[in-house]
Chain A
């Protein structure tokens, strides 16, 4: 569950949005759309605790996140899978090791080797599992980032334009993955301006679309 109460965000005094209140229930699937520069990435970073709201409150999994210490932030991050627009990796570790990183840092027994290769196979990266991230194309990086985000089956998945650099077929596969996770009860928030992707999702599961524009977030109309 993600809850925003009267959240305002500004960079250096310039207000990006104000009075944003949202409730994304557990197990819901939301798209976040809006023109470039509207603040989609910023909103997602508020939800992944990478940014702090200027005012207002962000609640994750039913708990307020205002006064967390560093370990508590880390604990939240382990329950949130994040795919950035420009995802970064540990460049001297293989793609597979990068994908497994969330498990390594949480001292969890590494998942079954089969699970990892299944996941890598699903995002179409099995052939590059042993390569280093700098050797990947933009689309491959995004898929690796998605695999890393979901490897430990987080409660919340935040994806920032995850299909930005991949072809339509791959977009559909990534969408399948998100839908599959959503069916398992995960809360998904996905920023995109790919309307076809949204339509595709809508035809398969109940999704809601949020539009961010002119300093506010509204539910998008039925045209989407």
Chain B
């Protein structure tokens, strides 16, 4: 705890012993800002792709319909089909939609008194699928054998590749975040390391008066952590504004999910904090290593 306290508050000399400016300062601030900007977009993409995938996935699970063309042996066919469905993995339940229900479904279009018998409407079987759903191709073959002309219509199965694409997109966003984090860490480690080299005289003086490596490392770490925090904060805010300005409204697929909602705004605040954490670790490690090398 005292270590953290020393590090964050420090005494005034320790705060100022590393020169406030220099190219490593601008490098750290600018790259943190740029990376935070990118990180906010990656997070936004990650969230949007996740939501899209969940939504589509939710629509997937659910119902399918089997249409059987009317024929002489329709009732036997229905019985056979129901028996077959009963043994098919991926099917939760199946039931025939009776005439009165079908009538109710059609009523809005054709009115109450439709002569169903004359229309020769196909018989419908409503099927409830599991999340994973059945093997549609195998099932279709089976149905064709039981009832020629039967059609298995699972409404939204065409969205499976879309869900996969959304999942893939989310993973890419995650990988981008990891890459951004590594670039930040490496850049700051290099900046800290070269700041240390550029300030060799200061390090010599500190050593002469008995500063331990940790004290020196903390002095540099404090500077670089604050720089990264400041830069990343600016970059994240700018990106957040840019995201907020993306027009939203109608369901536009991935685009409609790009904004941040409610608690998701906290993700933006976490970006500068994470950048500061990364800067802290990167500087500590880089400086400690460098001090040891100097002997």
Give chain A residues whose Cβ lies under 8 Å from the Cβ of B14.
104-105
Q: Which of B6-58 contact A (CB under 8 A)?
A: 6, 11, 13-14, 16-17, 19-20
Give chain B residues whose Cβ lies under 8 Å from the Cβ of A102.
209-210
User: Would you give 16 A-B contacts (Cβ < 8 Å), ordered by A?
Assistant: A70-B213, A70-B291, A71-B212, A74-B211, A76-B210, A92-B16, A93-B16, A98-B205, A101-B13, A101-B17, A102-B210, A104-B11, A105-B14, A105-B206, A105-B210, A110-B11
Q: Which size class do B's interface residues fall under?
A: 20 to 34
Question: In terms of DSSP, what is the predominant structure of the interface of chain B?
Answer: helix
Contact with A along B77-91 (1 / 0, CB 8 A): 000000000000000
Q: How far is the CB of A73 from chain B (nearest CB, A)?
A: 8
Give chain A residues whose Cβ lies under 8 Å from the Cβ of B291.
70
Assuming the A-B contacts A88-B204, A90-B202, are A74 and B210 also in contact, with contact meaning beta carbons closer than 8 angstroms in the complex?
yes
> Quick one: closest A residue to B292, CB to CB?
A70
Most chain B beta-carbon contacts within 10 A, residue among A50, A71, A93, A100: A93
Q: How far is the CB of B203 from chain A (nearest CB, A)?
A: 10
Give chain B residues whose Cβ lies under 8 Å from the Cβ of A50.
208
Assuming the A-B contacts A92-B19, A101-B13, A105-B215, are A74 and B205 also in contact, with contact meaning beta carbons closer than 8 angstroms in the complex?
no
Give chain A residues whose Cβ lies under 8 Å from the Cβ of B205.
88-90, 98, 101
Q: Which of B17, B207, B212, B292 contacts A90 (CB 8 A)?
A: B17
Chain B residues close to A by CB (< 8 Å): 6, 11, 13-14, 16-17, 19-20, 201-202, 204-213, 215, 291-292
**A106 within 8 A of partner (CB):** yes
Q: How far is the CB of B175 from chain A (nearest CB, A)?
A: 39
Other CB < 8 Å A-B pairs besides A70-B212, A105-B14, A105-B212, 13 of them? A71-B212, A77-B208, A82-B208, A88-B208, A89-B205, A90-B206, A91-B201, A98-B205, A101-B13, A102-B210, A105-B210, A106-B210, A110-B11
Q: Provide the bound-state CA to CA distance between A148 and B13, in Å.
A: 14
Q: Which of B6, B202, B212, B292 contacts A74 (CB 8 A)?
A: B212
Q: Which of A83-129 contact B (CB under 8 A)?
A: 88-93, 97-98, 100-102, 104-107, 110
